[in-house]
Amino acid sequence: MKKIKNIYIILFSLMAAFYGCQENEHEFGEIVAPTDIVITAEIVGVDANNLYGDGSGTVNFTATAENASSYVYYFDGVAEASPSGVLSKRFSKVGVNNYTVVVKANGTGGVSSTKTIDVEVFSSFSDVDAENFLSGANIGDSKKWYWQADKDLHVGLGPVTDDYGNGEFAYEAWWNGIKAWDDEKSCMYDNEFVFTRTANGLTFEQTAGPAFVPGTYAGVLGVAGDQCHDETVATKMFGVKTVAFGPSTSKAGTEGTYNNAPYRGTNFEISDGGFMGWLVGSGTYDIISVSSSELVVRVIEDPVSGSGGAWYHKFTSTKPVKGSGYIYNDLAWEDDFNTAGAPDATKWTYDLGAGGWGNNELQTYTNDAENVIVEGGYLKIKAKTDGSGGYTSARLKSEGLYEFTYGRVEVKAKLPGEQGTWPAIWMLGANFSTIGWPHSGEIDIMEQTGADKNTSLGTLHWYNTAGSNNASYGETTPIENASSEFHLYTVEWTEKTVKIYVDNVPFYELANSADLPFNADFFLILNVAMGGSLGGTVDAAFTEDTMEIDYVKVYQ
């Protein structure tokens, strides 16, 4: 009887679960996939003489479907939402190009249907230099940009169409008192904006939030103004977007000047609601000026829902750091490693071969791609086993190509973490080949031993004439995650002092004098050694490890 009772209990439970599921399904409604998707594409400017459009590259899309609640367009895999199904897209790849566009129609209950359409469209506008400045010249190149927070007026507000007698159509007339490191805007200074070149043009991604919402636009979103908000407010802040370039159409971009210089005449548009950190309902930017290290743009706040004012923004490819107190701030030389392939031969040469290099090192230096290559926006120096019990690696230097006296050197790097690797970022006196070491002098900006990957060494070497010996003086500083995260290794070298920093925090300083060799030209060196006096014992299981360098910059 007990067994029969248990069976009834089980049957009752199953029935309850079944009816519960039926009830839940009824509550959520019927699941219906969209059908009969129709996509139309109107290429702007098509006529008998312009079969592929007027050269603007603009296509107006309309998608409809039975039982569809919203739509998403995919351009080269990058999504762009369109709740109504109507979307205008500008393709900026120069020439007549065919594009396959995927449209997803969303139904109820999380189901969807897709359809594709091919469009062939002509774009005649080109600003290759601007694209190269933003991302790099080759497919796969990428570049990071930051707010130029260390400069006054990195954000400003002004009129859209009038100069008000100022003689310029574009200037910060209404909000022109912003100073460097403005307290109110400090929440956005960790923003990172990445432009990447692909086979079909540029993409954009904001990789670090939040978004700043000015008071002029906050009411549209129903949030507090003049402060930062996360992705719950800026819902389209993150994700990869496409970038389309075209001629400027604003009055300022076509007729006006800024600081007595004309605009570049180019604008770019970030797709799918993307924007550069300042949320005002628009992602179309007039380029005022652009170089390898600075981008100045103007964006008009959404004139329908917002104030319609023109916002001015300044960005830099080197992230500013507050309170560093550096003396040298004018960029004199750099390598951002944005061109994939071998390192730039106009900036770097190599030390090659074996022989211990004076420190009982175990590696043989090569210039082979398996040991040194630029890819993904980084220089990668790879130390590897050679299959015969030895090791190969690379040592780059600017000797004979770039040599200088005094300045600030910044190297942003991620270090190898395997036991026995000895990474180094350093400098030698340019007269090294004639007078030898240590008479030439040596500045070690960063070294790391093979056994301790949580410490960075900063050391100076020279010949002590009074004692007729090698003088080596330095300090160490703790560092976390040196092998998993990028850190900034810096030296600022003047006629009075040589200071070494990690992440803009100084930890070693030497008083310079006329008796020391640190008053003449030096050149840069980047390498990963194996074993030797600082590398020590190499892990028996070692196969390979890498030092990655984001950039090298010299300020004077």
Active site positions, annotated: 442, 447
* Cα–Cα distance, 243 to 205 (Å, whole number): 10
Q: Which secondary structure element, helix H or strand E, spans residue 129, and what is its range?
A: helix 128-135
Length of the chain in terms of residues written: 556
The DSSP bridge partners found for residue 300 are: 310
> Nearest 5°: CA angle at 21, between 17 and 24?
135
**3-state secondary structure (DSSP) of residue 9:** helix
**How many other C-beta atoms lie within 10 A of the C-beta of residue 295?**
24
**How many other C-beta atoms lie within 10 A of the C-beta of residue 49?**
7
Instruction: For residue 513, give both structure tokens.
Output: 């004098």
Instruction: For residue 221, give both structure tokens.
Output: 């979103």
* Cα–Cα distance, 448 to 346 (Å, whole number): 28
* Cα–Cα distance, 371 to 373 (Å, whole number): 7
CB-based burial label for 436 (10 Å; 0-12, 13-18, 19+): exposed
**3-state secondary structure (DSSP) of residue 202:** strand
* Cα–Cα distance, 90 to 73 (Å, whole number): 13
* Cα–Cα distance, 109 to 151 (Å, whole number): 51
108 within 8 A of 32, measured Cβ to Cβ = yes
Where do the DSSP E strands lie in 25-111? 35-43, 58-66, 70-75, 78-82, 86-90, 95-106
Which residue in 223, 228, 157 sits closest to 190, CA to CA?
A: 228
Which residue in 151, 221, 527 sits closest to 361, CA to CA?
A: 527
**CB contact set of 9 (below 8 Å; sequence gap of 6+):** none
**3-state secondary structure (DSSP) of residue 20:** helix
